[in-house]
Amino acid sequence: MVNGFSPAPSIAMQVHSLKALHSFLVERVGFQTVEARFDEGVVLLLDSDGDPLLLADAAVEDVKAYLVGTQFVFQPGDTVGFRGEGIPWLRDAESIRQRISSGFSIETRPWGERHVCIEMPDRYTLKFIALGSLEHLLDWYETGCMRELTQVLEGLAEAELDLQKAPEEWSIRYNVHHLAEVEGLYMMPILVALAQSGATLEEGPYDQKLWPEMLAYGRRALEPSLAFIRAHRQRIAQIVRLVPDSWERFVFLGKGEHMRRLSVRAMIGILVRHWMEHCDEIRVIRRAHDL
The Cα–Cα gap between 75 and 77 comes to 6
Exposure b/e, 177-205, CB count within 10 A at least 16 = b: bbbbbbbeebeebbbbbbeebeeebebee
Asked if residue 172 and residue 156 are part of one domain, the reply reads: yes
**Average pLDDT of the residues in 130-143:** 90
pLDDT at 3: 66
Phi, psi for residue 162 in degrees, rounded to 5: -95, 5
Q: For residue 108, what are the domain limits?
A: 11-130
Instruction: For residue 2, tell me if it sits in a domain.
Output: no
Residue 228 lies in a domain: yes
189 in any annotated domain: yes
Does residue 131 surpass a pLDDT of 80? no
Report residue 2's pLDDT band, with 50, 70 and 90 as the boundaries. low
Nearest to 259 by CA among 40, 16, 49: 49
Query: How remote is the C-alpha of 121 from its chain's centroid?
Result: 22
Residue 1 forms part of a structural domain: no
- What single-letter DSSP state applies at residue 16? S
- 200 falls in which pLDDT band (50, 70, 90)? very high
Please state, in angstroms and rounded to a whole number, the distance separating the CA atoms of residues 110 and 67.
35
Name the pLDDT band for 195 (thresholds 50, 70, 90).
very high
Quick one: 77 and 193 in the same domain? no
Residue 71 above 90 pLDDT?
no
Residues 140 and 282 in one domain: yes
Same structural domain for residues 66 and 173?
no
Answer yes or no: is 98 within a domain: yes
Assess whether pLDDT exceeds 90 at residue 4.
no
Tell me the per-residue pLDDT of 173-193, one tens digit each, with 9 for 90 and over: 999 999 999 999 999 999 999
Res. 142: pLDDT tops 80: yes
186 and 63 within one domain: no
* Contact of 249 with 263, CB cutoff 8 Å: yes
Average pLDDT over residues 212-241: 97
**234 contact partners, CB below 8 Å, separation of at least 6:** 142
**Mean of the per-residue pLDDT values for the chain?**
91
- Work out the average pLDDT over 37-50: 92
The pLDDT assigned to 281 comes to 96
Q: Number of folded domains in the chain?
A: 2
State the pTM of this model.
0.75
HSE toward the beta carbon, residue 112, CA cutoff 13 A: 17
Confidence of residue 49 (pLDDT cuts 50, 70, 90): confident
Q: Are residues 282 and 138 in the same domain?
A: yes
- On whether residue 267 sits in a domain, the answer given is yes
Shared-domain flag, residues 180 and 249: yes
| Domain contains 181 | yes
Q: Same structural domain for residues 125 and 155?
A: no
| Mean of pLDDT values over 154-176 | 95
Count of beta carbons in the 10 Å neighbourhood of residue 238: 11
Q: Which of 130, 147, 175 is the last residue of a domain?
A: 130
Domain termination residue (choose one: 66, 100, 130): 130
* Separation between Cα atoms, residue 239 and residue 244, nearest integer Å: 10
